[in-house]
Amino acid sequence: MSTQSIKINNQTFILHRLCVVFWKEKSMLLISDVHLGKVSHFRKFGAAVPQKAVRKNFEMLTEAIDFFKPKTVCFLGDLFHSSLNKEWELFEQWVGRTAAEIILVAGNHDIISPLKYEGLKIQVVQEIQSDGFLLTHHPEERDGFFNFSGHIHPAVRLRGLGRQTLRLPCFFKSKHQMIVPAFGEFTGNHTLKPSKKDEVYAVTKENVFQVDLS
């Protein structure tokens, strides 16, 4: 299945294979660690990354929005990898085609002036608190809140019957927190080791599935 629907504190969250979360009751799409501009940064310094990879993130963003049709898109930090480059023009064009309200929860890579975002009517904030949920870039534990965050680029290592292993990006859920996988191309990831109390939803190009931790 391309999605998995879960309940957290009586709210419905839909996990999608594109590494996004849709908060149904708020009609809000949560996206983390897109790192726009990273492909252009690699190419600038001679990495053999195909030009078409520059547009891949925007195509996937559009696909996610077309699927859920959210009222609000909330980026959980690291929307851009570094300073302005030519991908900003593509971003401006993408924003112009997007009807949803856009909010950026600033991450450690978000060094572009908030004035540039304000010019596109994008609100830049440090965090969002809503109905007992806390939206941040870095994972946080705060009394009375369930936290959605990014930053870690979580992945899980799956082991087969033999010695073969497979590492996949994942949604990593603990009791009071979910870490959202990185959305962007060429972002890399960090393997986490879940306990039996955690819930892990691995992502492939076609599916989202819960990992058996027993």
- Most confident region among 36-45, 183-192, 196-205 by mean pLDDT: 196-205
pLDDT digit string, tens, across residues 119-128: 999 999 999 9
pLDDT digit string, tens, across residues 54-87: 788 899 999 999 999 999 999 999 998 766 677 8
Does residue 176 register a pLDDT over 50? yes
pLDDT above 70 coverage of the chain, percent: 89
Work out the average pLDDT over 185-203.
89
Prediction pTM value: 0.93
- Three-state SS letters, the chain: CCEEEEEECCEEEEEECCCEEEECCCCEEEECCCCECHHHHHHHCCCCCCCCHHHHHHHHHHHHHHHHCCCEEEECCCCECCCCCCHHHHHHHHHHCCCCEEEEECCCCCCCCHHHHHCCCCEEECCEEECCEEECCCCCCCCCCEEEECCCCEEEEEECCCCCEEEEEEEEEECCEEECCCCCCCCCCEECCCCCCCEEEEECCCCEEECCCC
| pLDDT for residue 186 | 66
Tokens 């809503």: give the residue.
130
- Write down the mean pLDDT value for the chain: 90
Work out the average pLDDT over 142-160.
94
CATH 3.60.21 fits 3-210, yes or no: yes
| pLDDT for residue 45 | 47
Give domain limits for the chain.
Answer: 3-210
| pLDDT for residue 22 | 98
Distance between CA atoms of 189 and 156, rounded to whole angstroms?
9
The answer to whether 30 and 76 have CB atoms below 8 angstroms apart is yes
pLDDT digit string, tens, across residues 8-49: 999 999 999 999 999 999 999 999 999 887 665 555 545 545
Looking at residue 178, its amino acid is M
Q: What residues are paired with 177 via a beta bridge?
A: 147, 174
